[in-house]
Amino acid sequence: MLKSKPGFWQELKRRGVPRVIAMYAATAFIIMEAAEIMLPRLGLPDWTVTFVIILLIVGLPVAFVLSWVFDITPQGVVKTGPIEELEQSGEPVITQRRRIRLSDGVIAVLLIVVAVLAYPKVFGNQDSRLPRNMKGKISIAVMPFKNMTGDTIFNLWQGGMQNLLITSLSNSEELSVRQFETMNSLVGNKAGVNYASLTPSLAGEMARKVEANTVISGNMHKSGKKVRVTANIINAETAEIYKSYEMEGHAEDELFDLADSLSTIVRDYLEIRSMKKNQVFEVANVFTNSPDAYKYFLQGMDCHGRLDYDCAAGFYNKAIQVDSNFVSAMMKLAYCYGDQRLAEQSKYWAYQAFQRIDRLPPDMQMMVHAVKAAADKKPLEQLGYARQYLKHHPHSAIMAYTEGWINFNLEQWEESIEGFELSLDLLKKMDNHAWAWTYILLGGAYHNIGSHKKEQKVFEDGRELWPDQKSTFDYWQAICAVSQGDSVQVAYYMEEIRKAIEQKGWPEAFRFLWYAGVYDKAGSFERAEFYFRKAHSLKPEDDYLTAEFALFLITNDINLEEGMELISPLAEKYPDNASFLYTYGLGLFKQGEYEKSDEVLQRSWDLTPFYDHKLFRLQNEVDDLLDRS
């Protein structure tokens, strides 16, 4: 049975248009791929590839029209007749299974080739398609050095200096260096290019062809017997010069030594730049010329972020051993020792950094002043430097944290919250997160203003981001739950604390000590006393536990006499323990022994690494009473 007059799509198929367009598209794709690979290697300019693509695009409607009008038949190319001619000729216009033609096989082969070429671009491993610099390395293209001496004997050193630098830089694990053969072929195939015409923009264009984002170019000058070699490290995209180095020698014989020295300082600069790429602003702004020192510094930062202070101090000290003027490591070490309550060591390194302050740019000088003010226990001075730094660098997450920390120590809770929240926001914009103390202190600040919902959310975030500090966040969440009277949450977090202490293999007395701390900080003193006594009865010989119990009894006026009986021998046994001395001094104050209290509290103040607001207030109160008497 004859079909009715076909629609547009049926007419397209009858005329073979889809088959022709498919074959054209597949062939065009293959031609574009081949042009992109071959034409630059033949020395043709980049616009030739674009020209080929434009021709192929223009050819598409031409192919469409020709396939509509003509058919390729065994008798040759003939004009396709309308459907009425077929009907008049008596040939049935019916849909039937047709035989596979040669053109179908060609189309299939072309589609397979296209699929093979397109697969890695669409579905392939993303890392395999990225330049090496995108995988954490800086990709380097070293250009031949220009001979500007006027002496042809140095022509050999144009490629020689390039080769020596490539060899040296290739030994670095932090860099991805395009090899000499690649660069020599690239420069040699560039039509109309000689070494003298290698401008920064042209060098950048050539570097991008081998997917390098950094260019090293240089030249050689001669004055009398002196030879000067200059190397420029350049951004391949913008032609901006990152850094320039010069080395001088007295004869051609010293060019090997010049090349070695130059390659060393260039490699050190690039390795440090590579390591800095994924760091936040302040870490990237450290000043050292030693990659080894910088690596130790970053390892110390990692340990410090995990609150592993011994590990952090070890790496910071190694960094300083490699570079004795590494001020950034000194500042971090001052804070690290302070976190361990080692006041003398903390102050020593703060002052070591301060002694080198004249070598630093103004912004780093502000940071050094802030660290020294912290060691000197001058919070308002430290706060001034922090705010001054933030005025110049408003995106400094570390200094925003510092502002929050200072205000927290001053018990200025609202200002403290502003600083910590700013630090968190800045780090989020950099796809990073703050260290654990930011969440602990911010949650504590919320707790002190009674904003328990926000407190709970901050601790939840910290618990998720710092799983190794989970028990610490469980402890603070338990305090928050007790403060809100949420018995279900209290039971949950107390159980989590129990599990954590059991997993760590700690004695049961410490579980009760943690429970006591939770109720003490939440203001539930009756429950706190119950757990303190239970913990102390299980481990009365533990001095730390005993001191905590004594502090609770004295601070909250639970039992002053018992508290002093517990802390007095410990203050005598540990004369350098600032915390024990504070508790003892507080007890003496409450007993009316002001002169002795003043002496003990001053000793505690001297041993405290950073400003302690409660100790400061207590000292002032004692001094006022002594002045009146």
- Is 348 among the domain residues? no
pLDDT of 491 reads 96
| 110 and 165 housed in the same domain | no
pLDDT of 85 reads 53
pLDDT in tens, 455-478: 999 999 999 999 989 999 999 999
pLDDT of 58 reads 79
What are the tokens at 353?
Answer: 């950094």
- Is 293 among the domain residues? no
| 115 and 202 housed in the same domain | no
Beta strand pairing status for 138-142 and 146-147? unpaired
User: Does 388 or 288 have the greater pLDDT score?
Assistant: 388
Domain final residue, candidates 256, 276, 296: 276
Residue 395's alpha-carbon distances to 152, 401, 433, in angstroms, are: 53, 11, 14
pLDDT of 83 reads 54
| 173 and 113 housed in the same domain | no
Cβ within 8 Å of residue 523, ≥6 positions away: 483
pLDDT of 136 reads 53
pLDDT at 571 over 80: yes
CATH of the domain at 201: 3.40.50.10610
Task: Say how many CA atoms lie within 13 Å of 617 toward its Cβ.
Answer: 5
pLDDT at 127 over 90: no
Element (H, E) at 263: helix 255-276
pLDDT at 257 over 90: no
pLDDT at 195 over 80: no
| 22 and 97 housed in the same domain | yes
pLDDT of 66 reads 72
8 Å CB contact between 473 and 449: no
pLDDT in tens, 223-232: 777 888 888 8
| 60 and 183 housed in the same domain | no
The CA-based dihedral angle spanning residues 180, 185, 191, 197, taken in that order and rounded to the nearest 10 degrees: 10
pLDDT of 191 reads 43
- Is 272 among the domain residues? yes
- pLDDT > 90 in the chain, percent: 46
pLDDT of 152 reads 79
CATH of the domain at 573: 1.25.40.10
- Is 425 among the domain residues? no
| 99 and 233 housed in the same domain | no
Read off the pLDDT of each residue in 364-368 and give the average, rounded to a whole number: 91
The CA-based dihedral angle spanning residues 467, 468, 472, 477, taken in that order and rounded to the nearest 10 degrees: 10
Read off the pLDDT of each residue in 270-283 and give the average, rounded to a whole number: 58
User: Does 605 or 153 have the greater pLDDT score?
Assistant: 605
pLDDT at 12 over 70: no
| 51 and 108 housed in the same domain | yes
8 Å CB contact between 324 and 288: no
- Is 589 among the domain residues? yes
| 147 and 258 housed in the same domain | yes
Of the listed ranges 87-101, 340-354, 562-576, the least confidently predicted one is 87-101
pLDDT at 33 over 50: yes
Give the pLDDT band of residue 68 (cuts 50, 70, 90): low
Read off the pLDDT of each residue in 36-63 and give the average, rounded to a whole number: 71
pLDDT at 89 over 60: no
User: Does 72 or 418 have the greater pLDDT score?
Assistant: 418
8 Å CB contact between 472 and 459: no
**Nearest in space to 234 (alpha carbons), one of 265, 201, 263:** 201
Read off the pLDDT of each residue in 13-28 and give the average, rounded to a whole number: 71
What are the tokens at 410?
Answer: 């001053």
- Alpha-carbon gap, residue 564 to 569, rounded angstroms: 9
Give the pLDDT band of residue 601 (cuts 50, 70, 90): very high
Look over the chain and give the mean of its residue pLDDT values, rounded to a whole number.
82
| 141 and 250 housed in the same domain | yes
pLDDT at 47 over 70: no
Highest mean pLDDT range out of 250-259, 579-588, 620-629?
Answer: 579-588
What are the tokens at 107?
Answer: 């189309």
User: Does 200 or 544 have the greater pLDDT score?
Assistant: 544
Give the pLDDT band of residue 2 (cuts 50, 70, 90): very low
pLDDT at 123 over 50: no
pLDDT of 132 reads 39
| 258 and 163 housed in the same domain | yes
Cβ within 8 Å of residue 82, ≥6 positions away: none
Domain final residue, candidates 248, 276, 304: 276
pLDDT of 126 reads 38
**β partners of residue 230:** 219, 246
Q: How is the chain split among helix, strand and coil, in percent rounded to 5?
A: 70, 5, 25
- Alpha-carbon gap, residue 497 to 586, rounded angstroms: 30
Give the pLDDT band of residue 187 (cuts 50, 70, 90): low
8 Å CB contact between 49 and 33: no
Q: At what angle do helices 397-409 and 436-448 cross, to 10 degrees?
A: 40
Query: Amino acid identity, residue 40?
Result: P
Number of domains the chain is built from: 3
pLDDT at 130 over 50: no
pLDDT of 97 reads 47
8 Å CB contact between 551 and 583: yes
Read off the pLDDT of each residue in 314-329 and give the average, rounded to a whole number: 94
Q: Which domain does 550 fall in, by range?
A: 542-629
- Is 520 among the domain residues? no
List, as one string, the DSSP characters of 104-137: HHHHHHHHHHHHHHHHHHHTS-HHHHS-GGGGT-
Of the listed ranges 211-215, 354-358, 607-611, the least confidently predicted one is 211-215
- Is 340 among the domain residues? no
Give the pLDDT band of residue 129 (cuts 50, 70, 90): very low
pLDDT at 177 over 90: no
pLDDT of 280 reads 44
- Is 478 among the domain residues? no
**Nearest in space to 206 (alpha carbons), one of 46, 52, 51, 50:** 46
User: Does 600 or 283 have the greater pLDDT score?
Assistant: 600
- pLDDT > 70 in the chain, percent: 77
pLDDT of 447 reads 96
Cβ within 8 Å of residue 143, ≥6 positions away: 162, 183, 187, 198, 203, 206, 207, 215, 216, 217, 218
Q: Look up the pTM and report it.
A: 0.63
pLDDT at 405 over 60: yes
Read off the pLDDT of each residue in 487-515 and give the average, rounded to a whole number: 95
pLDDT at 450 over 70: yes
pLDDT at 135 over 70: no
Of the listed ranges 108-122, 348-362, 418-432, 615-629, the least confidently predicted one is 108-122
Of the listed ranges 39-48, 492-501, 597-606, the least confidently predicted one is 39-48
Domain final residue, candidates 276, 293, 312: 276
pLDDT of 45 reads 62
Cβ within 8 Å of residue 129, ≥6 positions away: 120, 121
| 188 and 240 housed in the same domain | yes
| 260 and 142 housed in the same domain | yes
pLDDT at 258 over 90: no
Give the pLDDT band of residue 260 (cuts 50, 70, 90): confident
